[in-house]
Amino acid sequence: MTRLKNSDICDISFNLCRYNRELISKTGQSLLGIACHACGVEELKIKQKLDSFCVHVVPVTTGLGVISNFSETVCAILKFLGFIALVSDKPDASGITSAFENKADAIMMADDKRFVGINLNTKSVVDNSEMTGQVFASAMDLMADGINQKDVLVIGCGSVGEAAARKLLSFNAKLSLIDINYNTAQLLAKKLSRAEQKDKIIVLKQEDNILSYKYILEATPSENTITDSLLSELTVVASPGVPLGVSAKGCKILNDHLIHDKLELGVAAMAVALLK
């Protein structure tokens, strides 16, 4: 899992309005709308509840420590969506305790291993990797005007790729999986076939010809996983992978058929999932 750097996230807070407009033009839905699509809930119902739902974002100092702007950026995304949100002025146990003492409805926090949201009333837990995979798959579904029966190449079969693959199967997409480790892709295919009773999941090897995919979901921690030769102006890419797996030239070819961000969609989907 990639550890974000301050430089990855320092521009997010003041670009939220612009990013929201970009999402609407690419998918027909806003940041909140895509998150609701991922969670299978009606945006109107969520809008009626979110302005009285209070989230404390708690900085965590363990391991490699705090990432500057991380908690503030998570908080800015939540407030942009209409939630009541604040960054706890105390980290770690003190911050968690303060959330309970102040009757917060939820906390969001991340150590080096997991980034989670916890609903303090229902005790439900949401995980960033899981929700990021689901929300980018949902964005792909919207960009494709329904991914049903369409072939999607999923590059990267880790926790985010798995969540995206599962979500795509729930939209009845036809999946091809590829991972730098062929066994990882094979294992995921087996897992998904059993769970989703799907017979049609293809596992590709690195050297296989993957030129013909119009829909690509990229969930790897590497750059340039999607080479320019794979792209045309018709290709649609949803890429939760950090850093972005598409080159600058590739981004130009894709134009408005590319969805990528480092925190926004995942945090929005976590927040809606906590509330539903």
Q: Name the residues that contact ligand 2YG, by CB under 6 A.
A: 1, 3-4, 59-60, 66-67, 70-71, 110-112, 115, 128, 132, 242, 262-263, 266
**CB closer to ligand 2YG out of 4 and 16:** 4
Residues 260/246, Cβ–Cβ less than 8 Å: yes
Shortest Cβ 1–ligand 2YG spacing (Å): 5
**CB closer to ligand 2YG out of 168 and 189:** 168
Shortest Cβ 93–ligand 2YG spacing (Å): 13
**CB closer to ligand 2YG out of 132 and 176:** 132
**CB closer to ligand 2YG out of 33 and 158:** 158
**CB closer to ligand 2YG out of 70 and 83:** 70
Shortest Cβ 149–ligand 2YG spacing (Å): 29
Shortest Cβ 15–ligand 2YG spacing (Å): 16
Residues 221/215, Cβ–Cβ less than 8 Å: no
Please name which of 140, 147, 203, 209 lies closest in space to residue 172, comparing C-alpha atoms: 147
Shortest Cβ 258–ligand 2YG spacing (Å): 17
DSSP letter for 226, please: B
**Calpha distance 5→135 (Å, rounded):** 22
- CA-atom Rg of the chain in angstroms: 18
Please name which of 163, 116, 172, 105 lies closest in space to residue 144, comparing C-alpha atoms: 172
Query: How many alpha carbons lie under 13 Å from residue 201 in its C-beta half-sphere?
Result: 25
